[in-house]
Every structure is written in C-alpha cells, then in structure tokens.
Amino acid sequence: MVEKSMFGSKIGLLLLFFLSAHFPILAQKNIKIYTEEDNNLIKLYADNMEYSPISMDLVLDLDNFKAADGENQSFTLPARSTKFLLTELEISDRRKVSKFSYNFKTWFGPKELIDENPDFEYSLPFESGKSFILSQGYDGKLSHKGQNELDFTMPIGTIVTAIRDGVVIDFVEENDRGCPTEDCKKLNNYILVYQSDGTLAEYVHLKKDGVDVEIGDEIEQGQAIGFSGNTGYSSGPHLHISVFQFREGRKVTFPTKFKVANEEQAIFLEEGNFYEK
C-alpha cells in the first residue's frame, strides 16, 4: 500500500495482477499507474510499455470523491503508450476527509471482442518438409478438455516456426525440467505472440534456452522462433500451441485451419494423424 497526501487527504493505491494457466498475463514493471493534480481534480493515468494492447478493469473505492465515469470502468491501453487518462476524481466536500483506493485487473490483448477469421490459413509450427503426429487435438481428453489447443509430439530441439505474423510480447526460457502434473505449469518455457489480427498465440514446453527471438521482435509466418522441448506440465517431448483471446480474464481459444502438404485447402487438424508441411 502506498499513501500520498493530496488536497490534505490520504490516497491509497492497491495493485492486483492475475495469472493465466501458462504465463503471467502482465509483468508489474511494464505498466505504471500514477496520479497528477490538475486544479481541483486528481487525474489517474496509465503507461503501458507492453508491445500489445492491454485490457484493464478498474474498480474505485471512493470516500468523499466523485469519479467522472463511475466507480467501475474498463479500458484498452494502446501498446507502448504513455499518460493514458483512466479517470478524473473530484472531491465532493472539501470540509471532509477525502480518500480513495483502486483495484485493477489486466490482460494481454484488447478489451474489444475479436472476430477471429475461421478460414485464415495458418502455417504448421515446424519447418517445411517435416512431418509430426498431432498427439492431442481440440477438446483432447488428457489436458485440452473444452479447449481448442494442439499438441505435436516432436524430439527435443526441433525448430519451431511462427504460425502467423505478429510481435513477440513475452517469453520464458530458463526452466530445464518438466513433469506430468499441473504443479509443473510454473516451469513452462514459452513464447507469447500478439498476432496481426489481435489474437494471441502461445508456443509452450520449449527447451531450456530455446527461445530465438526477443520481446518486441516482429515475426513473419513460417519464421524460426525457437526450439521444442519437454519443460513444464508435460509427460514427454512435444510442442503445445493455441490461438486465443483473454475475455474478462478467461482464456477463449479459437479453432484454426492449417495449410498441410498434399491438401489444396487449409484444414482443421485431427488427433492421431501425421501432418507434413
């Protein structure tokens, strides 16, 4: 809790961050919330240093303050933006003690719902001429129940390629082990990409030091970005991918069609089949 004195009042600031299944949704160091005085107003601003838009839900607790747009507000903070005005607060009665606090939740990606194109042709996440089995498909019984997520069994060190254009917004590569229980999720190595249509793509279970990109890199479909592994929540060497959007903190995954060898049109992949790029 940080307290400041403004207009003779104590102002408390409380910051909350949510986590997803595979990675932190937002690092605290990359978003800054602060206030400035402007005549009789307190203005609340945000800086977003992430390379993607950030969704934010803001909840105010006001004591002798009025907020211009109410106590529950939602925003999309543009990527790499500074001094984004969240709200303006005005003291109701200057004869009384005034204070406020706030909580906020944040997620990668825009607040607005994305109309994902179901016919977009994604590229398989490995090099041309290679072939791998889809060991777990959409709604898979092992760990994909109710989710549009894909697992390709492949040897550790297989080159992983981008399924769509985008910008790298997060990665982890320091972990060196995995296990078949959920408590190992915290050991996932991954790359997170903000894609050109506003969706997110994750590439998970990469090998230690298996990331070949940097945060902020713009990548193209088919570009080599890392190396597969067996880290985190994993029972054997494989690559996990999904395309999704956070909606109110909930991960909503999208079915995606892929271009494969010997097929004229992109297709939905089926569990148990080998696919060649």
Give the range with max mean pLDDT: 1-10, 142-151, 169-178: 169-178
Query: Phi/psi zone of residue 180: left (φ > 0), alpha (ψ -120 to 50 degrees), beta?
Result: alpha
Same domain, 150 and 104: no
Q: What was the pLDDT predicted at 90? A: 94
Same domain, 204 and 139: yes
Same domain, 104 and 128: no
- Average pLDDT, integer, range 229-244: 93
* Position 113 confidence tier, pLDDT thresholds 50, 70, 90: confident
Residue 243 lies in a domain: yes
Q: How many Å from the N-terminal Cα to the C-terminal Cα in the chain?
A: 53
Q: Say whether pLDDT at 1 is over 80.
A: no
- As given in the structure block, the two tokens for residue 69 are 């747009």
Q: What's the distance, CA 127 to chain centroid?
A: 25
Q: Measure the CA–CA gap between 242 and 224, rounded to whole angstroms.
A: 17
C-alpha distances in Å from residue 276, one per residue of 123, 134, 156, 263, 272: 11, 11, 18, 10, 13
| Domain CATH for 211 | 2.70.70.10
Closest by CA to 237, choosing from 182, 166, 174, 160, is 160
| 74-93 pLDDT per residue, tens | 999 999 999 999 999 999 99
- Given 50, 73, 108, which residue is the final one in a domain? 108
Q: What was the pLDDT predicted at 23? A: 54
- Position with higher pLDDT, 142 vs 193: 193
Q: Measure the CA–CA gap between 180 and 222, rounded to whole angstroms.
A: 30
Ordered DSSP codes for 125-162: SS-TT-EEEEEE-TT-TTT-TTS-EEEEE--TTPEEE-
